[in-house]
Amino acid sequence: MKESKSSGDNNWILYDPLLDEYSVRRLGATPTSVTFDQGTGIFGGTASKIVYLAKRGVKSVRIKIALTTTTEDILKLSSSHNIVVSAGTITANGFSSPTIYVDGAATATVTTASKEIVVTTATAFTADDIQLGYVSSYLDGIVDLFGLNNTTLTASYISNLYNNKTYIELPDKISSTVSKLLDVHALNGIIQTKYADITNTDIVAHKEGGNVYSMYFDTAKGVFGNIGTIGSLNLILFYDGTDQDGIIDLDGGTNTVEHASGTLTYWGDNAYINGVDTDTLSMGVNYITIIDNTGTAASAFQIGYDDTNYFGGKIGRCTVYSGVESLAQHSQFRSSNKKYFR
């Protein structure tokens, strides 16, 4: 069950995905000794921090972080409000009766693996000394996202937030913003298909900072119909180690894209993944180009279902062309969309 936007989506008074130094500074923040790499901030444990402008009415904090050790200072918000980790246990000092969540579940236990931490309270406070990466010592770790919210977040909202299901549900008719996730471009005379027939509202667009980044599929599909002959297909796919069917289907189950045991299977002749000529997926985000040298008719193109199995995962930008793309063109697709998937 997905929650409405009123339970937190519109109340992020600070939302920083740490895409790069420029994006951080645009928020009025000042980074010191922080290295930015592919949408993360790397804090080196010595003088590394980001200082933000003061925010009033703070009730909730969200941080995506990978710690180097299980004892680290994470965040200072005021002289009396901070979040630290000691021996794998998170403490929210100064918060009034806080509830702490890790990866969508109520717990204060954290490891060095990448985790999403949310702290929420019913009592608002003013964050007048916001220093990400510093309390009394400096953080040694990697931060992917930092946000402050002026509402008390519920357990179900936080669970959905972690699973990328909270921001906006797909409307009955796809908006122009959401349709960018499933765009099908015209090339060499192929007519562009602008909208898909969405058969289940369990497809959710993941939106961050005003931008839509990815689609979450769960017993749902987007049907485009007959879009002509495909020579190349670009796709951003999140791989979590689970085998998946029903990712892409060209014609009702005969020519499809699936993966098993970390190997991509597809109808075409060749595939490039993350800039390499390979069929092997990497854990996490994969930028994929599938090549079909002779072209295959996509007479019933759909995303998220292969007429037998539904896909249960996240897909980013999906574009198809009649021409055959080169490795260089694949690399261009990858580089131009590196900040697209969330």
Domains and CATH numbers, the chain: 5-162 (2.60.120.200), 168-336 (2.60.120)
| Confidence (pLDDT) at 63 | 96
Residues 6+ apart with CB under 8 A from 177: 205, 212
Has this prediction a pTM greater than 0.85?
no
| Confidence (pLDDT) at 216 | 58
Round to the nearest angstrom and report the end-to-end CA distance of the chain: 21
Residues 6+ apart with CB under 8 A from 315: 181, 214, 215, 217, 235, 236, 237, 238, 247, 303, 304
| Confidence (pLDDT) at 12 | 87
Q: 333 in helix, strand or coil?
A: helix
Alpha-carbon distance of 103 to 146, in angstroms, equals 14
Q: For the chain of 342 residues, list the mean pLDDT of each consecutive stretch of 10.
A: 41 89 92 91 95 96 95 97 97 97 94 93 97 97 94 85 48 30 32 38 45 56 76 86 91 94 94 94 90 89 86 78 83 74 56
Q: 177 in helix, strand or coil?
A: helix
Alpha-carbon distance of 243 to 238, in angstroms, equals 12
| Confidence (pLDDT) at 341 | 59
| Confidence (pLDDT) at 235 | 86
| Confidence (pLDDT) at 337 | 72
Give the CA diameter of the chain: 66
| Confidence (pLDDT) at 169 | 29
| Confidence (pLDDT) at 72 | 97
Q: Are 152 and 11 in contact (CB under 8 A)?
A: no
Residue 97: HSE in the Cβ half-sphere, 13 Å Cα cutoff: 3
Alpha-carbon distance of 194 to 233, in angstroms, equals 16
- Both tokens assigned to 42: 């790397």
